[in-house]
Structure 1
Amino acid sequence: MFQLRTQAPEYKPDPYGKVEVAGPSDYPYRLNFYDDPPTHMVTLEEFESCAIDRLRVLGEIEACFARNRPPDERKAIVRAQCRKYLPLDPNDSLSRAQFEQRKKDHVGHFVLRLAFCRSEELRRRFIKAELELFRVRYEEELDSELESFLKTRSFGLELVDDAEKMKYAELLKDANPKNYVSFSKKVPPKDLAKERFYKVRWTRVPDLVEHRKVLVKGGWAYVPASEQSSIVFNELEAHLKTSLEATAKALPRLDEDTRIVPLLDHLSKGFLAGVPAEWDAEHSGEDIRADMIDDIARKHYPACARNLHENLRRDRHLKHFGRLQYGLFLKGLGLSIEEALLFWRRSFSKFTDDQFNKSYKYNIRHSYGLEGGRRNYPPKSCQQILTQDQPGAGDNHGCPFRHFSTDNLESALLAWYSPHGLTQDDLDEVTKIVKAGHYHVACTRVFELTHAAQGVKKGEGVSGDSVSHPNQYAAKSRELEKTHTESVKMDVDGSGVTMAL
């Protein structure tokens, strides 16, 4: 399907005609049914970046469904995500980026098709998210471009002639009376004679039949043009289902490609924990000192880091993976190597200096890239925490939303976050999200609930995204506190009132 290269040289004519180069004519419309896979050359970097940006959008769509957002709210979020990661300009736009935008959309879809074809559950979730993305794009498409796009495909529609339409006129009106009866003087009723109807087998439009929006007679459904979109969406759903099943059968051929399979494994876990947002994961915020950590933990930590901190304070020790996860988190928080050594030495107070230096100092320096291969390790993302190094008995690393029992999770959340606004009533919503397997969405909801006093509303998440990284959570929490404090201080100073904050 894809031809991959590790570099991006200039395109040169191939004397054997084996290399195809995509051009603007390959993408005449913004809407795409993704019938044909890309056959042009794609770099590994492009292969990954196109998929990740598309996954950011699909991940937010999945989060919207997990939180039962209403359609209008969901549509607004999808549009915002598309503007950010998958913009598609119309044909009459003055932008010259149309071709690159549409090629990126095309490549990203097929890469994720490879990643999410592996199981029935992944295919189902991928199709649901893709359909919602297509639906939003369809509804905001220009009428002229939409009509042209629909003419490029055969949807098996049979236009109902005037004679047949008049024959069933009363039944057609009864099937959807709101279209033809005016309930307001400001909204005139539609003229049935001018309305176009299409005839399709009723099995093609089960959703319209279910909601009694169409006339069903003799095995045919009479669909008004205003409901034509349902046929288009059902057609796309059937097409994606068939295509994903075919891709799953062909996927074993990629097993020997060590460049592609690890990347697809990583992408397939994107719905589990989201995709890390575009921010500096290695160091966010100002430098901090060892003696500041207790206060920061109490006010700004996500559940995974809070659990590690509380257990470290209680046991004065953490096992290897716990030290690794928490140490890298602190590094991303802004703790220098000198302060890190001081923090861990104080925390491991039951050990002598000699024991600490022999057993732990090297690993701390190693995580900062100062020993061994001198690799500068970044903090772990939610996806890594959820999928790697699963905790066993006596371990404290991992994600509490996934690895705690329901009772333990509720008790822990109340203990950690009730001072910040979390109540017993909120736990039902959070645990419902957890039981559905949307762990990062549950963490996002806790963030919203505990930062309502700083102006965070339900649905806003962390700067418009779901939590996908522990340091993202902590950095945004500290930023909100700083902004809120400065705002209150300005109000107090402006009114001439002195107040202790």
Structure 2
Amino acid sequence: MQFQNDNEFKSTNDTPNYFYKSPPSGLVSINDFNIIAYERLQILYAIEINGFRFGKYSTAYYDALDNEIRKIRKDLTIKYVHLQKFSEDLRDHLSHFILRLCFCKTEDQRKWFISNEVEYLKYKLNFHDKISNSQYMKSIMEHENLNYIPLTLEEKEFLLKNLINSTPKSLNNKLKDKDTDILKVPFIEIPELIRKRRVYINKGWAYVPKYELIHIIIRRFRIYLSYILTYTRNYISKIKDKRLLSLIEGGEQMYNGAADNGKYQQKTISGDNLTSNDIEKISESFPLCMLNLHKNLLKDHKLKHWGRMQYGLFLKGLGLPMSEALKFWQNEFIKVISLENFQKQYSYNVRHMYGKEGKKADYTPYNCIKVIMGATPGPQDFHGCPFKHMDVSVLRQNIKYETNPFQRSKFNKISDTQIEEIVSLAQSSHFQIACSRHFAYKHNITMEKAPAINHPNQYFEESQKILVVQIS
């Protein structure tokens, strides 16, 4: 792949390639490189969000996802008319390789990318019914060297009783169909089907109906993608082209939500500047990460550096002016240190957050990805994401007792069953989905109406909107 300013991209491979083993070749402008990467990133976000809203693999999920993917592509094509020179398959092929470069550096990035790319492949195979297309499946098996030999009719008839007994009753008629091929596959290839007791196993062989092949394909893809991302991570350090390195960094910033941070730079609440006296009143709408920092600041009258940065920038984003921020931090810290020590050691840090000291950068509040992937909390640290960094028992306690019956009676009490659901999502590394689920249960709204949380300040804003409706 080479970069030029004006030349069109001309690929030698303009066909679907779901395992993406062969990189595209040709010329692509730097501008198109960014646009195509952004398109795929939006699609992967749509997969994550709709999975949370509707539950993966439901009809509603696939319908909503299909509509959203079509809208993403249509909107970008309208905005950038010249994108029509790229076929849909070519954009799919090219964008996957671009995001590989952007999502290979850290374990969290790789896990997120693999998870959503796998779901995207499932969508492409399932929704468009390609998995049931014999000719299509034959071509993909050949392409990926899946040389499984189907049983003869006589062999299938001989094993039919065992096959039926090892298959869910709802699929029995499908299994009896003469057109349904049964493939003899090494059992290590289909651990998911074995775990779900969906196949017959005998002497190290699994007898897999053709319509279950998607599990083999998905597993192969996941393993391959995991391997290739690790390889790509090692390759990144050898890249010397500053343009490419800049584009990779741009892709990471899109993932980190940097483009959305500006809108949380510094706001006002209901048209008035927020004061230090207002913070306790509005803390009812804080996400769990900020509520944890707030409670521990009030308890210990101090926070370590990363806690002050995370919480201080969050308050700045809510509309707390620098003068009020200095007052807020000072009022707490002087309960355990002298005013002189606060001014010497900590006031500089507050002014620095607001761009008045040091390099005078106007820092923006941390989004969810930065909170999740930032510095790991140590002893006596309270920053970070509770869904990632808290011990499970501590997380349960924090969710259970976050609602003060006197001050926060506006919010719904989260049940033990709901807490376990949230904790389970957190344990599965679905940190933002756990936070979104927490929001839904706390505000007593359905999953379909709940926002997909990607920023602590967004959590606060959405919470305040619901409170305004309830009050009115």
With structure 2 as the length reference, what TM-score do the two structures score? 0.72
Q: 1:113 aligns with which of 82, 96, 100?
A: 100
Partner of 2:467: 481
Residue 265 of structure 2 corresponds to residue 282 of structure 1: yes
Q: 1:440 aligns with which of 432, 436, 441?
A: 432
Q: 1:336 aligns with which of 311, 321, 327?
A: 321
Separation in 2, partners of 1:285, 1:391: 30
Residue 6 of structure 2 corresponds to residue 10 of structure 1: yes
How far is the alpha carbon of 1:451 from its aligned partner? 0.7
Amino acid at match of 1:444: S
Partner of 2:123: 136
Mark the CA change 1:135 to 1:79 in structure 2 (over 3 Å): closer, same or farther: same
Partner of 2:293: 308
Partner of 1:37: 23
Residue 453 of structure 2 corresponds to residue 430 of structure 1: no
Q: Deviations over 1:414-433 (max 9, x none)?
A: 33226433346143333333
Q: Deviations over 1:102-122 (max 9, x none)?
A: 454333322443455578997
Mark the CA change 1:97 to 1:336 in structure 2 (over 3 Å): closer, same or farther: farther
* Structure label with greater radius of gyration: 1
Greater shift, 149-158 or 379-388, is seen at: 149-158
Residues 112-191 of structure 1 mapped to structure 2, 5 A cutoff: 112-114=99-101, 126-141=113-128, 153=140, 154=142, 156=146, 164-165=152-153, 168-169=156-157, 171-172=159-160, 175-176=163-164
Partner of 2:443: 451
Q: 2:181 aligns with which of 173, 197, 207?
A: 197
Residue 386 of structure 2 corresponds to residue 400 of structure 1: yes
How far is the alpha carbon of 1:37 from its aligned partner? 1.4
Mark the CA change 1:173 to 1:99 in structure 2 (over 3 Å): closer, same or farther: farther
Mark the CA change 1:448 to 1:418 in structure 2 (over 3 Å): closer, same or farther: farther
Residues 239-318 of structure 1 mapped to structure 2, 5 A cutoff: 239-240=224-225, 243-244=228-229, 247=232, 250=235, 253-254=238-239, 260=245, 267=252, 278=260, 280-283=263-266, 286=269, 287=271, 288-290=273-275, 291-297=277-283, 299-318=284-303
Separation in 2, partners of 1:329, 1:121: 23
How far is the alpha carbon of 1:220 from its aligned partner? 8.2
Partner of 1:421: 412
Mark the CA change 1:66 to 1:293 in structure 2 (over 3 Å): closer, same or farther: same
Partner of 1:366: 352
Partner of 1:498: none
Q: Which runs of 5+ in 2 are unaligned?
A: 406-410
Separation in 2, partners of 1:249, 1:294: 47
Residue 397 of structure 2 corresponds to residue 411 of structure 1: yes
Partner of 2:408: none
Aligned residues: 451
Amino acid at match of 2:7: Y
Amino acid at match of 2:374: Q
How far is the alpha carbon of 1:478 from its aligned partner? 1.0
Separation in 1, partners of 2:54, 2:280: 36
Separation in 2, partners of 1:223, 1:408: 44
Greater shift, 208-217 or 304-313, is seen at: 208-217
Q: Which runs of 5+ in 1 are unaligned?
A: 13-20, 487-501
Mark the CA change 1:120 to 1:398 in structure 2 (over 3 Å): closer, same or farther: closer
Residue 357 of structure 2 corresponds to residue 379 of structure 1: no
Separation in 1, partners of 2:203, 2:300: 74
Partner of 1:18: none
Mark the CA change 1:401 to 1:156 in structure 2 (over 3 Å): closer, same or farther: closer
Separation in 2, partners of 1:109, 1:373: 37
Mark the CA change 1:320 to 1:237 in structure 2 (over 3 Å): closer, same or farther: closer
Separation in 1, partners of 2:134, 2:232: 30
Q: Secondary structure of 1:313's match?
A: helix
Separation in 1, partners of 2:108, 2:361: 37
Q: Secondary structure of 1:416's match?
A: coil
Contact 1:54 1:86 in 2 (8 A): no
